[in-house]
Each structure stands twice: as C-alpha cells, then as structure tokens.
Amino acid sequence: MYLLDTKALNLGHYNRLYLEVHLAHLDYSLYLNGCVLQHTYNSMFSNPVSICDYGGGTGLLGFLAKESFGCRLIYVDLYPRACQDVKNISQAMSVEIDEIVNGDIKTLVSSKIEPPQFIISRDVIEHIYDLEEFFSMGHRWNTEMIQIHNTSANIYNVFRKSFFRKNHIQNEFFGTKGSVLKETETELSYFDIRKKIIQTEYQHFSESDLHHLTTVTRGMIEAEIKKAAHRFRNSEMIICKEKHPTNTCDPYTGNWAERLLTFDQYKEMAKPSYEVKFFGTFYNRGAKGLLKKYAGRFLNLIISFLGNKGRILWPAVTIFVIPKKAIS
C-alpha cells in the first residue's frame, strides 16, 4: 500500500489528495480501520460474511476487510467520481470489489443486492443527513445486520469539538473557497445557499424576515427550506430543528459538516431497533515530532486508566450498533 503511485491511478483531484493523506499517515489510518474490523471480527457468527463499506471513499477500509476476512464486499458512495476511482485503486491493489453502488441507504435497500451482515464506515456517520432514517432502513433491509462506524467527531473531546465548531462556522458563514472540494460541493456558505433558496421561492420577504428565516432553517435541506418558507409566509412560527449551536449542513446535498452528536442522541436515533455502544481510540503512537509523540503517549496512558470516562480525551469513537434481537 505504501508503494501506491497515486498520480498514475488517474484519480479525481479530491480522491487523489484524500488517498495521499491516508498514505502519509498509513499506520494510524490502519489502526483506526482496525478498530472497526476488530469489532466486526468479534461479532461474526458465520463464514463467509458479507460487508458493506458505506461511504467508502478511497475504499481502504473495505479492502482491509476483504483481505482480512475474505468477505463479499459491497462498496457504496454517493459521490460518482469515488465509485469510478475505487475501481482503479482496487485494480492497483489487486483486491476485488463484488458490488459498487453509487447512492445511499435508499439505493441499497431498493436494489436487488443481497443484504450484508455488516455495514462499516470510517468518518462517514457524522455526515449522514437523516440518521434515524439510515438506521431504520438498514434494519428493515436486514434485521440481523450489525453496523460499526468510526468517527473523529467526538463531542466530548474539547479539542475535537473546538476544531469542528470552527469548521461549522466556516461552512455556515464564510464558505469553503480555496478548499479541495468534490465536484458535487460548492464554495458558497450554507447561509447564503439557504438565503438564495428562500429568495428564489418568495421574493416579498423583508430583509429582517429573510435573515430570520435563513437563520432558523440551519440544518435543513432544500425541500424542507421551501416548506418552511411557505409556512412562514402563512404566519407560522419556524423553530430551528438543529439544537446544537453550530451544526450545519449543505442544503443541496444534506451533507453535515462533521455533525457533533452526544451518545444519547445516537442512541435515540437508533431506537427502537438497535442497542448502541461506544468505544474509545488512542492517539497516534507514531506521530511525527517529539512533542506530539510524547503528548500522545501521555494522553493514551490517561485514556487507559479512565475507561469510559476517558471519552473526554478520545481522538475518535467507534460506534457499535447491534440489533436488539441479536442481544436478546
């Protein structure tokens, strides 16, 4: 994997840079992927198994699963270019993908693909627009399917929370000009996009009403924003449905900017079908630079002693979602 020539793979600009970041920190990337696959292995009841790498991106998590378990691999991503690029990466790594799906959970459930035993992901769950629907549809697709997700969007870690809140504010009010974007993403701020949607639908709102409606529709997608504007026009009060003060999403795609959720919120969204458990991770033991390396080792030592209370320091969280039927 270290020897992958990313420039020779004919990848899209976003995917090539994303893959290069993973390869530059490969040891830690493999460790975090391993956290997901360890829980997958511990939950296996039969062989061979079928695994869905959801929001697969560069495909590295799925490839590791395929090589580790010899499983049937379903790769899923909403981004069309990712589905194209992963074919080139899989060929370069000599790892076969059994199914490639350009879409989301709705696409999967409506397809003729045999449901897998596992859905796994890394740094994806914090971007899914409607998690309640995601969990519900996944359970209807296969009532015995286990989901295992790893995310760095840990709301309890003060450093992570601060980093992602700054990212929320940047996306909400200033946009992403100068950032590396997918072809489906926009440089415009999410606030300006919502304002434009409202203005296109209704031109008669006063500037103060327009600003208010744009503010309270944070966390909504285009169709919901239009409905809210219609209700507001009919003198209904519109309340912002997103309770977190900075969480925000792309109104066109529904992609959350690293949504920060509490563990209780995850549990509530997974009801009534799933039980949800949370496991911490450690900092990169091979970090470059003496300060980072020794600071990481010190924090890892504290995490080891604190157990579940160490979530205030966890750099990432593995979310283990198991059907209640499987528990009973």
pLDDT at 327: 54
Average pLDDT over residues 107-136: 96
Pairing of strands 118-122, 146-151: parallel
**Residue 306 is assigned to a structural domain of this protein:** yes
Q: What is the pLDDT of residue 180?
A: 60
Are 51 and 38 in the same domain? Answer: yes
- Residue 226's pLDDT is 96
Domain boundary among 187, 213, 233: 233
Provide the Cα torsion 244, 245, 250, 255; round to 10°.
-30
200 and 226 co-located in one domain? yes
Residue 229's alpha-carbon distances to 129, 197, 225, 253, in angstroms, are 20, 9, 6, 19
Give this prediction's pTM.
0.93
User: Are 64 and 36 a contacting pair, CB within 8 Å?
Assistant: no
Residue 246 lies in a domain: no
The stretch 23-29 carries a mean pLDDT of 89
Domain that holds residue 290: 6-155+261-327
- Whether 250 shows a pLDDT value over 90: the answer reads yes
Residue 13 is part of a domain; what is its CATH number?
3.40.50.150
Final residue of a structural domain among 218, 233, 248? 233
Q: Tell me if 243 is assigned to some domain.
A: no
Q: In the chain, how many domains are there?
A: 2
Q: Judge if 11 and 112 occupy the same domain.
A: yes
Same domain for 225 and 198?
yes
pLDDT band at 223 (very low <50, low <70, confident <90, very high): very high
Q: Is the pLDDT score of 326 beyond 70?
A: no
With respect to residue 61, please indicate whether it lies within any of the assigned structural domains. Answer: yes
15: left (phi over 0), alpha (psi -120 to 50) or beta: alpha
DSSP 73-109: EEEEES-HHHHHHHHHHHHHHT---SEEEES-HHHHH
* Residues 31 and 146 reside in one and the same domain: yes
- pLDDT at position 3 over 70: no
Read off the pLDDT of each residue in 147-169 and give the average, rounded to a whole number: 97
Q: Residue 261: pLDDT above 90?
A: yes
Residue 242 falls within a domain, yes or no?
A: no
Residues 177 and 146 occupy one common structural domain: no
pLDDT in tens, 281-325: 999 987 777 888 889 999 999 999 999 999 999 999 999 999 987
Same domain, 139 and 33: yes
Q: Are 79 and 85 in contact (CB under 8 A)?
A: no
- In a domain, residue 49? The reply is yes
